[in-house]
Amino acid sequence: MSVFQKIIDGEIPVEFLHEDESCVAFYDQNPQAPIHVLVVPRKPLKMLEDADLEDEALLGRLMLVANKVAKQLSLETGYRVVINNGPDACQSVYHLHVHLLGGRGFSWPPG
């Protein structure tokens, strides 16, 4: 069971910035920006590549929740949304999740 599933199940306490029937959002414990939030689906998909057509609404929901939380956190000048998929992308927890990063300027290309 992933650490994110333990958070979703209440085994690891965190303060949710957002919680609904399909996903939760909470601060990353190892932030890579002044604001670093994770948006995690309740459905335990390991990776983005594991999603299929039946997950289309869920994937859209993750993006809308990231936007909602960005507004909640006053990220008016911009933010970055990232999904790491697999070892070459530095995915470290194999439960699909969206990183919402903000609070500073970012460069391009990333990494």
Ranges of each domain in the chain: 3-102
User: Among 46, 40, 53, which Cα is nearest to 14's?
Assistant: 40
Question: CA-based angle 24:87:95, to the nearest 5?
Answer: 20
The pLDDT value given to residue 35: 98
What dotted CATH number matches 3-102? 3.30.428.10
Please indicate whether residue 95 is annotated as part of the active site.
no
Provide the pLDDT confidence category of residue 110 given band limits of 50, 70 and 90.
Answer: confident
Where do the DSSP E strands lie in 9-86?
A: 18-19, 23-27, 35-41, 79-82
Residue 16 zone, left/alpha/beta (φ > 0; ψ -120 to 50; rest): beta
Q: What is the pLDDT of residues 35-49, one digit of tens each?
A: 999 999 999 999 999
Q: What is the pLDDT of residues 88-103, one digit of tens each?
A: 999 999 999 999 999 9
Are the beta carbons of 35 and 62 closer than 8 angstroms? no
Catalytic residue from among 18, 36, 95, 97: 97
